[in-house]
Amino acid sequence: MIAAIIQARMGSTRFPGKTFCELAGKPLIWHVVNRLKYSGKIDQIIIATTDTVKDDILADWAARECVSLFRGSENNVLERYYHAARQYEADIIVRITADDPFKDPSIIDRVITMLQDEKLDFACNNNPPSFPEGLDTEVFTFGALERAFIDARDDFEKEHVTQFFYRNKEEFRQANLANEKDLSFLRWTIDTESDYKMAERVYRLLYRENNIFQMEDILEILRQNPDIQELNNNVERSAMYKSQR
């Protein structure tokens, strides 16, 4: 069974409450879940949040929306993923972060297919990055996740689920899906209000109910409206993307 596990929590220092910020009249977390439903490969979508009181609101939302839920450690996200995958008996896991409103199901399916066809332990599209930040896709087997859960030692590896794979390449069969054109200078994630304003503009122009827009649609909108890209152009990038500016 292939499960997309969405790591989500309400605690954000740079943009508090972003999980429920509205895009086209619906909360961000709704869009993250909804876009995954267009995947032809994913069998189950699971929200993995923390067991702290502040994340009760996420658990309540998941219950109302009939989305599978797991609650676990706040800081040890690797442990949270492992127990979520084990509880729902996932064979293959797609790691999803709840601050990415543009996740592309067709790209996700390509990475899953690569993992399956090449019999890999771990497959991604961001090592090195060539897709826009926010379209990151990481897919791994339960066996690989279990090894990471057992062997990871430092807090960084426990907080960032897939870092054990990157740091121990020789121990895992892994490959990277590269885009034809390097677009890693683009930032399509929400970590600040500037990011939110950019996403809001794109959704206003592209979102239609019961439809899905993908990477090429966003690129076309940016070509037509270059000012949109400037809205969050100065936001500090994640470490993996800093050198791509």
154 inside domain: yes
- What percentage of the chain exceeds 90 in pLDDT? 90
What residues have CB less than 8 Å from 124, skipping those under 6 apart?
111, 136, 137, 138, 139, 162, 174, 176, 177
Domain-located, residue 77: yes
Give me the mean pLDDT over the 127-146 stretch. Answer: 97
pLDDT in tens, 31-83: 999 999 999 999 999 999 999 999 999 999 999 999 999 999 999 999 999 99
CA distance linking residue 151 with residue 88, whole number of Å: 22
The pLDDT assigned to 237 comes to: 55
* Residue at 59 is within a domain: yes
The verdict on residue 22 lying in a domain is: yes
> pLDDT tens digits, residue range 82-121?
999 999 999 999 999 999 999 999 999 999 999 999 999 9
Residue 241: what pLDDT? 54
Q: Confirm whether 174 is domain-assigned.
A: yes
- What does pTM read for this prediction? 0.93
**Cα 173 from Cα 229, distance rounded (Å):** 36
Burial class of 218 by CB neighbour count within 10 A (0 to 12, 13 to 18, 19+):
buried
| Tens-digit pLDDT profile for residues 154-200 | 999 999 999 999 999 999 999 999 999 999 999 999 999 999 999 99
Lookup: tokens for 198:
């950019």
pLDDT above 60 for 242? no
| 11 occurs within a structural domain | yes
Between the two ends of the chain, the Cα-to-Cα distance in Å is 37
CATH no. for residue 134?
A: 3.90.550.10
The rounded Cα 23 to chain-centroid distance in angstroms is 17
Does residue 100 form part of some domain? yes
Is 243 a residue whose pLDDT tops 50? no
Please tell me the predicted confidence (pLDDT) of residue 12: 66
What pLDDT is recorded for position 11? 77
Would the pLDDT of 245 be above 50?
no
pLDDT of residue 61: 97
- Residue 240: is its pLDDT beyond 90? no
151: number of CA atoms within 13 Å, CB side?
A: 14
Number of domains in the chain: 1
- Identify whether 213 is part of a domain: no
* Residue span of the structural domain in which 25 resides: 2-187
